[in-house]
Amino acid sequence: MKNKEINKIKISVETYYIEEESNANMNRFVFAYTINIENQGSVAAKLLSRHWIITDANNRVQEVKGEGVIGEQPHLEPEASFKYTSGTMIETPVGSMQGTFQMISDDDEHFDAEIVPFSLAVPYVLN
């Protein structure tokens, strides 16, 4: 049973459009995103794997699953955080990402840390 107070992982996101790697004429829009994972709970936890759902404006969905993030499986003590930057490419100037990090606490409880949907957008495309 998931204990929200013990396994409290806060995830914040910043996104960036990478114009020099993008090509609108070829429907190639490249974005970087920086993820900050913060353990606000009372028990340490390790990130085991990730599951991303990336959707473009044409409702084309890409799913990405894998072990860890950027080749690491960070172990977060209470009040500790881990920050990393990665990227993705979509075929439209606007899209979204969401997902989960699969975690295990030091007291052997498996749980998912939710990554709420966030936008990928070329600057000035959205009002």
- Using an 8 Å Cβ cutoff, are 35 and 50 in contact? no
Q: Domain span at residue 37?
A: 9-121
Q: Write down the residue that tokens 């439209």 correspond to.
A: 92
Say whether 107 sits in a helix, a strand or coil. coil
Number of domains in the chain: 1
Residue 36 in domain = yes
> Could you tell me the two tokens for 5?
């107070």
**Where does the pLDDT of residue 92 fall: very low under 50, low under 70, confident under 90, or very high at 90 and above?**
very high
Q: How far apart are CA 43 and CA 51, in angstroms?
A: 23
The confidence score (pLDDT) of residue 7 equals 72
pTM equals 0.90
Average pLDDT, the chain: 94
**Of 12, 6, 50, 55, the residue nearest 34 (C-alpha):** 12
- Using an 8 Å Cβ cutoff, are 19 and 125 in contact? no
Residue 126 in domain = no
Q: What is the torsional sign of CA 104, 3, 10, 100?
A: positive
Please report, for the domain that includes residue 24, its CATH number.
Answer: 2.60.40.1470
The confidence score (pLDDT) of residue 87 equals 97
The confidence score (pLDDT) of residue 1 equals 42
**Of 4, 15, 1, the residue nearest 113 (C-alpha):** 4
**b/e per residue 19-41 (b: at least 16 CB within 10 A):** eeebeeeeeebbbebebebbbeb
pLDDT tens-digit map of 15-40: 999 999 999 999 999 999 999 999 99
Residue 3 in domain = no
